[in-house]
Structure 1
């Protein structure tokens, strides 16, 4: 479709998620929005707003190519689709971890490659939602954290590689924002420790952290976050790093503080301080 409006394509736009919030914010800002998801039926709220919804499974080369072939003009690509993974590294199932890397890293690259010709033509912008997890060593999230760190590194390198073509690359480091991420984690992964885990003596404490109990509904309001992001991106010279969401500024400061200064805070966040105390007291 050809349009005089600036156009944006966003991945991972299922209802209740951050992609859907971004789609609404971009539409409010006057963009023509392509909202995409693996299952278009899960974008009913966006379709009701006359936002164009398209099927796009970022883990399928055929699906990505098919979607890219339908679009003739693109100014902004937002790589938002992704998944969470929580488990102590000692208990990680390697094959399951590879799937997270496929979704959070390789799929992002696949989408970038497919739409880059359009973005070069428009001298457009690539926005990768990498999360503050790329710099925050939250215990039990090493696979998720490292996948986000990987795409953050990709973003920084890509920024230099496509700069000669007039394409901007933005690393969006999102903090805590209200979304369906935790509920999706519980429904799809049912996180629990495997038999024989070194943390079995503290099973209840650790599994509570794996389920992220108590964190549901926390964070910045989606609409507030999305509006701020779009405002940042519409600036004449948007920053290469954008920090938005609850705890985003804390993570930004922590990234330049002496190494390990916030270890205590991170341990308390997931109950690892309780585990540590039990080990010291010999209760395992």
Structure 2
């Protein structure tokens, strides 16, 4: 924030999980052209092992905060015929193992966003879905904060047969390889939002366009890809070997 201030940009505190903070921030603005809902965190864990309270925490941040912020700033956007850009991620259209809670939260935002687009169209407010691929961020750190520690399988997990491979997948380290910088991602998104014809969806970041095409393919094609990416194929082999040894 200090860097932004040095560039002459005015910054305001905003806790998207606090309604009083949201209301206070909104009350300090007299106009608004573009609202970007970008807050979010990751929670990776097999469905059979995940913590329901932690999953609810993730939805509070990844979904409900978007609605709360949008409602608070909507009066300003109605005056300016502005734009609402919701960061849903390319994860909203794929079924990546061990990321069900995160993907489901992003899919929920995507449906909410597209519905909002239709509802606000008569009033001149445009809504854009940002389906981003990998971009450099502190998402991994946020995931550790949410989980209380790095992603580790609980003792007795079904996936202990391939513990090291699964935990590597849960860490997200492989997905960040080759990720575009935050600056490159932001420049691309801004150029799309400022086009004469505002797009409904913006695909930016490493792998985003690939995911957009894979989402069109039948599951019998993509299942193998997702299994290989996450180590679920290693789990299947380990379970098969263990079964033969009985």
What is the CA–CA distance in structure 1 between the aligned matches of 2:142 and 2:2, rounded to whole Å? 18
Give the alignment partner of residue 139 of structure 1, picking from 97, 112, 132: 97
Structure with a larger share of its residues in helix: 2
Deviation, structure 1 residue 104: 0.5
Secondary structure of the residue aligned to 2:48 is helix
Q: Summarize deviations over 1:162-211 as a string: whole Å, max 9, x none.
A: 11100000001001112222233245532211122111222222222222
Aligned residues of 1:179 and 1:217 also touching (Cα < 8 A): no
Alignment of 1:19-38 (within 5 A): none
- The aligned counterpart of 1:78 is 36
Secondary structure of the residue aligned to 1:261 is helix
Alignment of 1:140-155 (within 5 A): 140-155=98-113
Give the alignment partner of residue 233 of structure 1, picking from 164, 188, 193: 193
Question: Relative to structure 2, which stretch is displaced further, 174-183 or 116-125?
Answer: 174-183
Aligned residues of 2:135 and 2:176 also touching (Cα < 8 A): no
What is the TM-score with the length of structure 1 in the denominator? 0.81
Alignment of 1:1-284 (within 5 A): 43-186=1-144, 189=147, 190=149, 191-216=151-176, 218-282=178-242
Question: CA distance change for structure 1 residues 217 and 44 in 2, over 3 Å: closer, same or farther?
Answer: farther
Secondary structure of the residue aligned to 1:53 is coil
If asked which structure has higher relative contact order (CA below 8 Å, sep 6+), I would say 2
What is the TM-score with the length of structure 2 in the denominator? 0.93
Aligned residues of 1:76 and 1:126 also touching (Cα < 8 A): yes
Question: CA distance change for structure 1 residues 257 and 117 in 2, over 3 Å: closer, same or farther?
Answer: same
What is the CA–CA distance in structure 2 between the aligned matches of 1:163 and 1:187, rounded to whole Å? 38
Task: Provide the aligned C-alpha RMSD in A.
Answer: 1.6
Deviation, structure 1 residue 215: 4.3
What is the CA–CA distance in structure 2 between the aligned matches of 1:216 and 1:201, rounded to whole Å? 25
What is the CA–CA distance in structure 2 between the aligned matches of 1:214 and 1:160, rounded to whole Å? 37
What is the CA–CA distance in structure 2 between the aligned matches of 1:233 and 1:164, rounded to whole Å? 19
Aligned residues of 2:54 and 2:146 also touching (Cα < 8 A): no
Deviation, structure 1 residue 256: 1.3
Unaligned runs of 5+ in 2: none
